[in-house]
Amino acid sequence: MNSTRAPLQPVIIGAGPAGIRAAQALVAAGLRPRVLDESARAGGQIYRQPPAVPGFMRAPATLYGFEHRKASRLHRLMAELAPNIDYEPGSMVWNLSDGVLDVLRDGVSRQVPYQHLILATGATDRVLPMPGWLTPGVYTLGGAQVALKYQGCAIGSEVVFMGTGPLLYLVAYQYAKAGARVAAVLDTASFGDRLAALPGLLRAPVLLAKGLYYMAWLRRHGVALHEQVRPLRVVGTTRVEAVECESGGHTLSIPCDALGYGLGLRSETQLASLAGCRYAYHARDRAWLPVRDAAGRSSVSGVYLAGDGAAIAGADAAELSGERAALALLQDMGSPVDLKRAGRLDGKLLRWQRIRDALERAFPFPEVWADSITDDVMICRCEEISAGTLRASVAGQGTQELNRLKALTRVGMGRCQGRMCGAAAAEVLARACGVGPDQVGRLRPQPPVKPIPIHMMVAMPAAAATAASALGASTAVSAKAAKSVERTVDLSQGGQP
């Protein structure tokens, strides 16, 4: 890039806590970032807002509980930023390469050039199947929560929550508060785990207090809490009828009509991979994650990582890391940066790392999971690939690597492209090979990050990019110019760029 030209508008992908804070820091420095977010409204996963239509209006306190102040603050902040950012909700970034994003919005795909990119793409549930998990009425914990926050409905009227992690008790609590009957909370972690984690958790007294409050509240309201359970199966044919688990040497069978099930989250890192970022295995998250420095710089110059999309650290850490990544970006652009502020953020982020370590100890990943599922359990539901098929590939074809497993068995080849089944497949593969999950590699993502319609319209890109860099006045002006020269071509009419 010619240094006499003004730099392009920085782009932020994701309008969750991380993305919003990043935008705020860039605006404060006088820039006008472009914020692309797949959701219809800002807030990300935790502060997800219901559709902006009358029937859906519910008070923040109802929606977000203890977090409602934080939620309202972020939503308000986003509204304040509006005049100074180009915010594009409903925009899915489906591909990226060499400084150009492909962005689908309202059926039209546009190319957005970038020089500086903050990836704040968040996380989704880590799906670890068990017998019966495909029975209608089984949801992930996060999915159960999305139903509540976004659609204002519960997944069932008599719900069991099972798995482990802070979200387990939180979602159970939110359901009970919303009026659903919570039949039981079944935690795979033990009291011992919690005890071992206590010193670490004391670093985050508020978090700890909230967790204890949820548990106490649930108990007080007659919800059975079981620890150290081993999930056995979901019972039911056309609909969940009961959930079975082993607890203290007994089999518990709890009648219910829905199950919220979750064992942690997984970072949404496909775009970082397409950007060419280097990855390393992250033992705590049991996942390959893009490498970043403490400030959020990836291995690719101009690409920054923040929030749960970089590593699972929760919403508060996401806010901090979003701001921190923006400061790193500003610093790298040669803009003056409040170094004291950066230092403070670094300190806080480090503290959050320790808290995460403690949380992971309190709610550890059930190491026995991969052994505990029988051959007939479906791992990849798009392609209907069972654990037995994966194990057979290891035994019969000597498969030892995840992409190879994908090629030979079709696991991860369906609509989700491994975003949902990849973590489980890696665990099963590693176990079958007798190695750790760090030894089986990671799925190499290909575009599109999520399915795209074959019939979308494609906007003409090249002219826009050239015009934007040639104009070179303020970034705001060049971005507007870039937009005005975009032309759309309807491919259904046979037109081609």
Partner 1 sequence: MMERINTEVVIIGGGIVGASAALFLSRRGVPVTLLEAAVCGAKASGVNYGGVRRQGRPLEQMGLTCRAHELWAQLPALIGTDGEYVRSGHLKLARSEADMTALETYRQATRGHGMHLRLLDRAELNRHYGWLGEEVIGGSLCPDDGHANPRLVSPAFALAAKAAGAVIRESTSVTSAVHDGRHFIVRSDNTLEVRASYLLNCAGAWAGHFAEGFGEVVPETSIHPLMMVTEPLPLFMGVSLGMQGGGIYARQVARGNCVIGGGRGLSADGNYARPGQNDIPALLGKAASLLKPLRGAQVIRFWTGVEGNMPDHNPVVGPSRTTPGLFHAFGFSGAGFQIGPAVGEVLAQLVADGHTDIPIDAFRIDRYAAAAHEAACPGHPFREQTLEAS
Ligand X SMILES: Cc1cc2nc3c(=O)[nH]c(=O)nc-3n(C[C@H](O)[C@H](O)[C@H](O)COP(=O)(O)OP(=O)(O)OC[C@H]3O[C@@H](n4cnc5c(N)ncnc54)[C@H](O)[C@@H]3O)c2cc1C
Residue ranges in contact with partner 1 by CB under 8 A? 95, 97, 100, 102, 109, 111, 383, 397-398, 401, 403-404, 407-408, 413-415, 417, 446-448, 451-456, 458, 461, 489, 491-492, 494-497
The verdict on 464 binding ligand X (CB under 6 A) reads no
25: nearest Cα among 330, 293, 303: 330
Looking at residue 386, its amino acid is S
Residue 254: count of CB within 10 angstroms of its CB:
18
**Residue with tokens 């701001």, as numbered in its chain:** 323
Report the residue from 7, 10, 17, 445 that binds ligand X according to the rule CB under 6 A. Answer: 17
91 or 188: whose CB is closer to partner 1?
91
CB 50 within 8 A of CB 58: yes
Using rule CB under 6 A, residue 409 touches ligand X: no
> Whose Cβ is closer to partner 1: residue 58's or residue 381's?
381
Q: Which does 17 bind (CB under 5 to 8 A by kind): ligand X, partner 1, none?
A: ligand X
The item of partner 1, ligand X, none sharing an interface with residue 211, based on CB under 5 to 8 Å by kind, is none
Distance CA 411, CA 201 (A): 38
Q: How far is the CB of 314 from ligand X (least distance, A)?
A: 4
Which does residue 254 touch among partner 1, ligand X, none (CB within 5 to 8 A, set by kind)? none
Q: Output the DSSP codes for 29-55.
A: TT---EEE-SSSSSSTTTTPPPPSSGG
Measured from the CB atom, is 16 or 445 closer to partner 1?
Answer: 445
The answer to whether 88 and 78 have CB atoms below 8 angstroms apart is no
Non-local (6+) Cβ contacts of 258 within 8 A are 137, 138, 139, 144, 154, 155, 156, 157, 158, 159, 160, 240
- Using CB under 6 A, pick the residue from 24, 29, 38, 137 that binds ligand X: 38
| Min separation Cβ 89 and ligand X, Å | 9
Smallest separation (angstroms) from ligand X to the CB of 101:
9
Q: Which of 145, 389, 399, 409 binds ligand X (CB under 6 A)?
A: 145
CA distance 143 to 167: 11
Contact code string over 90-109 relative to ligand X, x by CB under 6 A:
-xxx----------------
- Distance (Å, whole) CA 130 – CA 160: 15
Q: Which residues contact 133 (CB under 8 A, 6 or more apart)?
A: 234, 261, 377, 378
x/- letters, 438..457, toward ligand X (CB under 6 A) = -----------x--------
The reply on whether position 315 binds ligand X by CB under 6 A is: yes
Residue 314 sits in the site that holds ligand X (CB under 6 A) = yes
Whether 28 and 315 have beta carbons less than 8 Å apart is answered as: no
Query: What's the CA gap between 306 and 17, in Å, rounded?
Result: 10
Rounded to whole angstroms, the maximal C-alpha distance in the chain is 73
Among 46, 185, 379, 405, binds ligand X (CB under 6 A): 46
Q: Check binding of 122 to ligand X (CB under 6 A).
A: yes
Note whether 124 binds ligand X by CB under 6 A.
yes
Rounded least distance, CB 279 to partner 1, Å: 15
Q: Which span sits near ligand X by CB under 6 A: 17-25, 26-34, 384-392, 475-483?
A: 17-25
Sheet with 11-13, strands from edge to edge, namely 86-88, 34-36, 11-13, 117-119, 303-305
Contact residues for ligand X, defined by CB under 6 A: 13-19, 36-39, 44-46, 91-93, 120-125, 142, 145-146, 167, 170, 265, 268, 271, 307-309, 314-315, 318, 449
